[in-house]
Chains A and B, each alone.
Chain A
Amino acid sequence: MSIELALDRLLVQDEFRRHLTLDHTVPARPARYAGFPGALDPRLAEALAARGISRLYTHQAEAAALALAGKDVVVVTPTASGKTACYNLPVLQAMLRDPETRALYLFPTKALAQDQLAELHGLVGALKVDLKTYTYDGDTPVSARQAIRQAGHIVVTNPDMLHTGVLPHHTRWVKLFANLRYVVIDELHAYRGVFGSHLANVLRRLWRVCAFYDSHPVVICCSATIANPKELAERLTGRPITLVDDNGAPAGPKRLLFYNPPVINRELGIRRSSTLESQRIAETFLRAGVQTIVFGRTRLQVEILLSYLQQSLANRLGQSGTIRGYRGGYLPLQRREIEHGLRDGSVRGVVSTNALELGIDIGHLDAAVLCGYPGTIASAWQQIGRAGRRRGAAAAVYVASSSPLDQYLVNHPEYFLGRDPEQGLIDPDNLLILSAHLQAATFELPLSNGEAFGQAPVAELLRILEEDGAVHQAGDAWHWSADAFPAEGVSLRSANADNVVIVDVTRGARVVGEMDQFSAPTFLHEEAIYLHEGAQYHVDRLDWEEKKAYVRPVKVDYYTDANLAVSIKVLETFASRPAEQLTVHHGEVRVTALPTIFKKIRFHTHENVGSGPISLPEQQLHTTAFWLEIPAEVARQFPRPAMQGALQGVANVVSQVSCLFLMCDARDLGAYSETRAPHTGTPAVFVYERYPGGVGMSARLFETSTAVIVAAHDLVLSCGCESGCPSCVGPALEVGEEGKAVALRLLELAALVTAAAQ
């Protein structure tokens, strides 16, 4: 049975063919090889040969040669292109030359670190030399830590552990820091937004500590395909970096299909379920004996898809064990077993969250089905990349959901295939993030007078810290002088130390998630129905002082919608520019939100089945924003009531499209519209960052505003609904009967797209 057969079975169906928006074959790519870099230790060449590697792909050889020559490098590597050799080779080579050499590997998660360690152990084992590789993370037993600090040649850890467990205790790691030659940062693209901004500061601290021990490690970064790998690597590490993106790994031809499930209710813009359609397509592959991976967006969706597929294929495949699920929450041993089954072919199908999109080794599969857009183009390519043998054909089918982003993408495959527009954005100089790390840095080593730390007003910050009693100046340096451990109070992952923690009271007070303080009143007020990974929770109590929301799982037929009295005040405009007949701006704003009441709204019918007051304090957020302003003479062309809905519609669609351009989560951005913005009295649409001070996303929106507006316009224009639906400007109920038309007109006026689009 073959992939061709399965594709034929799909493509003979008229209904399927008719709703394809893309049928594209990515041509096969031959392998391009290069020899081992000159002076490769014969022992290393032998070990590679023993593992069946007699030559390198061009990108591996280039990266290894640069790193061995002491150049900092970032390698862009698609899924399964042998990226680990790019860093393992130079690191091991250096260790063979000088056994004192040490290296530090950073992975964004513990699971990935484990996976890489297994690979590394294999290679080191074949070398027959005594090189010790260890993971050092929260799971490392205390009894083993001392040995790792003393003897680990390669220490594999994550940014959080480096931040709280290693740097503040660097004197216990003298051997590591004094001999550190390489720092490997894998999955670079994961370090975006707040997390990346934190990591950039952790790395600033790392470089300070290295300098103290007189070591100057070479950095090797690996990234999935993003638009700006070099820029991201340079902003993260604060160093100039050489880009290696000439991929020499081979690939067989790959058929790429985009499928948009048919509309079943035109008026409301409702389409057939992407879950069921994905199941049907995956089933066709699996029945034809094609090893297939299905990506779901949430854990719940994964479980649903898995049980559907297992049921429908139980007879066919004999035992349901050959189709497995894979997601966070599975035990490590279970995961290893599934990964192994995928590699040796005994597992025929797997349904996964994005957990399998990262660098975990599962070999190559024949087909991938993407149930919904995973949120970024880079992720989508990673998921598609799971299908593809080095030789032989493969196929990937993307099944669009009805969300605006999905609808934009499925209708604009050329955007998807064109140059990847996503940016890995960070702002290492966000004042709040930086000042937190400045304290940790001072704790680690006194800060010399005049010493720089990023682009911060260090002297002023130190004066503030001095007033607060955290630092003290003596001689020519500033010393930490408080009975506190500053790294402990700073979480690299969440935006803010003051997040509201969500506790499920029914399951032994298990924490199910957290939410930033600014959003919490809207979603976690008492009696709210909080949706988490597809499950409904009722908020029993919100303890605002303790920042805890106590919830329990429920099954109800309604959701809640909080009314917020929002206002935005522009504090400072950094830059402005005309956008055809409108203007765009970038600057600092204060967003004030006061939750007033909430409504209980029944699913499907949208009738109001109850309401209640919310009594929580007003929330303020100081941040940066991008906004679109409509001059009074333009606004006059439209009736006031239509304008109100249209602005809301523009806000909805622009913020959605912005997520696409910025490679960020929808929750990172907020959108808001005003018919009379207080600072000008004219209508305006704001997209603001939800992290205090912002991490550079609104600045990038301002720079690329034309593209963003054009994309937003295209999305609305190509949507088949009559007067607004959740896939474009929002439902007509929300934006009004004329909302969609006026929104479209406003976007036209902002980007002069009329001619181009017609």
Chain B
Amino acid sequence: MTADLVALRERIAAITARPRAGAPSPFGFPSPSGGGQGGGSRRLPPNCTEEATPFGTVAVRREWFPDDGSQEVGALSTCLGFAPDELRRPLFLDTETTGLSGGTGTVAFLVGLAWREGDGLALAQYFLCDFDQEQALLWAVGQCISQAGVLVSYNGRSFDWPLLQTRLVLQRARWPSPPHLDLLTLARRIFRPRLPDCALQTIEQSVLDLHRADDLPGSLIPSRYFAWLRQGDPRVLGPVFDHNQQDVLSMVVLLARFEALLGSSNEMHPLDRFGRARFLEARGFQVEAIREYQHLWREHQAGGALRATRGALGLRLARLLRREGRWQEARLVLEECWHTQTYPYPAAIELAKLLEHQARDPAAARRIVSEALRLLAVAVVSNAQWRADLERRQQRLERRLGRNESPGLALTG
């Protein structure tokens, strides 16, 4: 509104003087500037039909797509811990909302859902023609959710689902809570080493090779909805429905891609393979993760394309090997890191740990630490944490060696 009192007063006066817009007209038709469009024929967006619910009607756009893609779920099930039966009945969900700031005043006005039906994919986009239909919309969406084996979303855990929960509280409604697979979490694990970000559209272009034409930017979506509410022009909504549909369909493709990625390593980008190994490690598949890291490590030794992440790769591999009790192998990896990397300090720290505790060679550990500190002292880029860690380690090793060595020194001296 305005911050000017007089301007506000003048506008109030103008409204008071105007014939009352909100008053019911004698013919029972609503005024054009809003007002209850109770019952009867609402305007509908293109290709939408009205469906009945116990709470009045709701608008929906339905489509069906033939889907001959693989419906294998074994790898996903193994890696993620969902039951195969749940994964075979996914419900894909994506919402369009009146804002991104959250809070009770943000409404999901379009809920796109997709599920497998026969040998194809059914898509339903429930649309809120006006705010007073929300109860009906939530009921209809809830019906689909109660059928779902697993809910599949992209960033749904922190955005769509909490927002819908807020709407449920406000409408005093309840839904069942199926297991939830947020593809963003998975995408971050696997594609983060390769991609600048993990926005769905980035994934589409760089992983799925899908390219949207004339897509409506997400930031413009709320204003399109407000334009529909105020002017009732159905044409402004077409691109919103298309955007939502594309989001849902991309999830369908992405889920299948994840199954393939997790199940086999054919023609995989080495960075994705590294991401997948990190994912396996995080999920507790240590043996598999070691195998993958070792494969990538050998590839790197043979001059593979892993330059950017080889440091992280070596460290991860060594840490896992050490944890598995294979410290001799770990030592080789760390030594190579120590000798070849531009910033060998984390490797030096790991190597010193290993030399001290597993190889029981504190003198060698001290050599590495001192050498690392000398390098760090002249390094262009320094790091207080590395320095502190190395210095602490050096002091401890000095103490330890001092205790054990002094008689020896006396003998030789």
Chain A interfacial positions (CB closer than 8 Å to B): 168-172, 174, 431-432, 435-436, 439, 442-446, 449, 457, 459-461, 463-470, 472-477, 479-486, 496-498, 590, 622-623, 692-693
Contacts and interface: CB of A to CB of B under 8 A. Distances in A.
Nearest to B168: A171
Given A459-B22, A474-B132, A480 B105 contact: yes
B283 interface: no
Interface in B230-271: 230
A466 B1 contact: no
B3 A497 contact: yes
A476 B229 contact: no
A620 to B, nearest CB: 9
A479 B36 CA distance: 12
12 contacts: A439-B1, A444-B104, A460-B12, A460-B15, A463-B15, A467-B11, A469-B226, A473-B22, A475-B36, A475-B132, A483-B98, A496-B3
Contacts of A464: 1, 8, 11-12, 15
B381 interface: no
A442 to B, nearest CB: 7
B104 A169 contact: yes
B12 A472 contact: no
Contacts of A445: 104, 170
Contacts of A465: 1
A431 B103 contact: no
B105 A168 contact: yes
A38 B213 CA distance: 75
B81 interface: no
Given A174-B169, A481-B98, 5 more contacts: A477-B131, A482-B98, A484-B99, A497-B3, A622-B5
B38 A470 contact: no
Given A465-B1, A470-B1, A473-B35, A485 B104 contact: no
A483 B222 contact: yes
A477 B107 CA distance: 15
A464 B5 CA distance: 13
A472 B11 contact: no
A51 B12 CA distance: 59
B16 interface: yes
A450 to B, nearest CB: 10
A473 B33 CA distance: 9
Interface string B96-125: 001111111101000000000000000000
Nearest to B107: A479
B143 interface: no
A442 B106 CA distance: 11
A168 B8 contact: no
Contacts of A482: 98-99, 226
A497 B34 CA distance: 30
A41 to B, nearest CB: 33
A192 B34 CA distance: 39
Contacts of B11: 460, 464, 467
Contacts of A484: 99, 101
A479 B103 CA distance: 13
A432 B3 contact: yes
Contacts of A692: 3-5
A623 B11 CA distance: 17
Contacts of B3: 432, 496-498, 692
Interface in B186-229: 222-223, 226, 229
Nearest to A463: B15
A457 B12 contact: yes
B6 interface: yes
B165 A473 contact: no
B306 to A, nearest CB: 35
Contacts of B165: 171
B361 interface: no
Given A439-B1, A497-B3, A171 B98 contact: no
Nearest to A623: B5
B170 A171 contact: yes
Contacts of B4: 622, 692
B166 interface: yes
A737 to B, nearest CB: 41
A496 B3 CA distance: 8
Contacts of B12: 457, 460-461, 464
Nearest to B226: A481
Interface in B387-404: none
Nearest to A212: B170
B307 interface: no
Contacts of B229: 472, 481
B224 to A, nearest CB: 11
A482 B222 CA distance: 8
A169 B35 contact: no
A483 B100 contact: yes
B405 interface: no
Contacts of B131: 446, 472, 474-475, 477, 479, 481
A466 B34 contact: yes
Contacts of A480: 105
A460 B14 CA distance: 9
B168 to A, nearest CB: 8
Contacts of A174: 169
A682 B5 CA distance: 28
Nearest to A438: B1
A476 B105 contact: no
Contacts of B1: 435-436, 439, 461, 464-465, 468, 470
B63 interface: no
B21 interface: yes
Given A457-B12, A622-B5, A473 B105 contact: no
List the 4 shortest-distance A-B pairs measured between CB atoms, nearest first: A475-B132, A443-B105, A480-B105, A474-B131
Select the residue from A172, A174, A442, A474 with max chain B CB neighbours within 10 A.
A474
A171 B170 CA distance: 7
B288 interface: no
A483 B99 contact: yes
Contacts of A497: 3
A115 B130 CA distance: 48
Contact of A443 (B34, B37, B103): B103
A482 B223 CA distance: 8
Contacts of B107: 479
Contact of A169 (B33, B102, B230): B102
Contacts of A168: 103-105
Contacts of A443: 103-105
A590 B7 CA distance: 13
Nearest to B37: A474
Contacts of B170: 171, 445
A196 B180 CA distance: 46
A578 to B, nearest CB: 30
B34 A171 contact: no
B9 A431 contact: yes
Contact of A171 (B5, B15, B169): B169
Interface string B71-108: 00000000000000000000000000011111111010
Nearest to B162: A172
Interface in B1-60: 1, 3-6, 8-9, 11-12, 15-16, 21-22, 33-38
B80 to A, nearest CB: 24
A460 B98 contact: no
A435 B8 contact: yes
Interface string B342-367: 00000000000000000000000000
Given A435-B1, A445-B104, A473 B36 contact: yes
Select the residue from B15, B38, B166, B229 with max chain A CB neighbours within 10 A.
B15
Interface string B309-348: 0000000000000000000000000000000000000000
A171 B230 CA distance: 28
A620 B37 CA distance: 43
A454 to B, nearest CB: 15
A493 to B, nearest CB: 16
Nearest to A441: B105
A446 B35 CA distance: 14
A483 B98 CA distance: 6
